[in-house]
Amino acid sequence: MVVFTLLINFCDNVKPPETGWGYTPSDDDHSLGADIERIHILWNLYCDDQVDVPNLQDVYGRMSEKFGELSIEGSLTNPNKSKCNALESKIKINRLKRNYDVENGIVVTRNIKSCMALLNTSDIVICVGAIGCGKTTAMRYVQDRYKGKGWRTVWFEEYINENELMENEIKNTVLCCDNLFGTFNCNVFSLETVTGFEHVIQKQREKCKGHLKVLLGIHQHVYDAALKFGRVRIMDTKNLIDIDHLDKAEVLLIWKDLKKEDHCVRDPSCWFKNIEFTSVFSKLLLNQGLVGNPILMLMYCQHHDFFTNEEFTKSPVTTLVNHFKRMREENKELFFVLVYIMFVRVYNVNQDIMPWAGSLSAELTEDSIKRCVEKYPEYLIEENNTVELRHELLNISLFKTSYDTYTVFSTLVHHCDISTILQLTRSKEECDFDFVNCLPPSSTDDKHMVKLLKRIAEAKGCPFNRPHFLSRKWKSLKKKS
């Protein structure tokens, strides 16, 4: 009973027969699940005194081929019923109700279910958590479920374009905005930014009068920064779902799902194939909370050396920056392809690369990008003829590597996506969150900092004003001298 219950509820490689559990499989169904169901049926027949059971030899033959012969000696004649009285009880089908499910490759966690439940009773839900914790996955799941109900869904990144919301006829609409106020936390510049967004949402709620659901995704550090401008009405704690918190069973399911497409699938002899989940979970306990466990597990699966390096789990960006610096020397083609994709954010495979790409590397071509997309899916993802970095964690790390490399930095300040530059060039004094702070701290050489800030200001097309903390520092030094 216990073995059968475990097999049909928890073993992913055991699929039910075409007829389902509890029903006689078709004669041509020789799958593992079908033979397990036949054993289930055979035992129950035996318990009904039908000792002349059919198909026993065929099932045993297939099981032996899959798993090997039994270690005990003996024949497969009908068993001596007198020796089995203590075991004579039928095997019932126990379908266990779990707190989580897997639908279309998405682990439906308790947090995702909470999003659905809260959105049923409220018109605003905010998914908050660290980068890589699964906010976007949760939002996509909710979006698909509401599409299935016939709702119109509109998806935005970082801000909402009101023009794209306008329709003559009011329809049931789910308004999704992921990475609210910026992917990296530097679009929250003022109280006006926050209150302006709040005004847009409130106007849409009044216009739609009960026909609108708002689903927002925001990084934890961005949420904390927004709250510094005062109480934000739409960000009431009753509307928040913390996506970060996962129980061990949910982490296990996410791990098993990631393993289906990891490096080991392409290389069956890979040593990482034998790593047990207990080792992975122990490693995750070192996580400092700056990133979510799902992104760490994704990186483990695609870059096994990160799994063996405890520093990656503790300080993922620092480890990645060092990794990319080595790549710059050992695999220049891949490094400059990744930097180029980081600059443009989204690369269209049907368009020529930018004319300035040659200033990064003479070998950077459409063909080199195509080769890297095919050879390094752990870094790049292609979808609908567009290529992007697999995760924003790579984007942040490549940016940090680029501003530390003069030959790349000179191209970065003039050609990198302006939104990326705006969001990732904040000094320690302007942004106290180290994870997204890419400028040197004020303790570094002042001339170097001023030179860097001047070039960024020039690239942004705005006047350069010496940062106030440098002005104070220089005045103090002048008085002392």
Contact criterion met (CB below 8 Å) for 401 and 325: yes
**3-state secondary structure (DSSP) of residue 365:** coil
Residue 283 buriedness (CB in 10 A; 0-12 / 13-18 / 19+): buried
The tokens for 255 are 């791990």
Q: What is the DSSP letter of 134?
A: S
Give the residues across from 92 on adjacent strands.
Answer: none
What is the per-residue pLDDT for 479?
Answer: 47
- Residues (pLDDT < 70) of the chain are 51-54, 70-88, 96-100, 165-169, 184-191, 229-232, 426-481
Task: Report pTM.
Answer: 0.71
| Sheet containing strand 347-348, strands side by side | 347-348, 386-389, 380-383
d(CA 199, CA 205): 10
What is the per-residue pLDDT for 283?
Answer: 94
**3-state secondary structure (DSSP) of residue 127:** strand
Picking from 112, 128, 93, the residue whose alpha carbon sits closest to that of residue 17 is 93
What is the per-residue pLDDT for 463?
Answer: 60
Q: Per-domain residue ranges for the chain? A: 2-87, 101-242, 248-314, 327-476
d(CA 202, CA 195): 10
Picking from 471, 3, 423, the residue whose alpha carbon sits closest to that of residue 186 is 423
Q: Which CATH class is domain 101-242?
A: alpha beta
The tokens for 72 are 């005990």
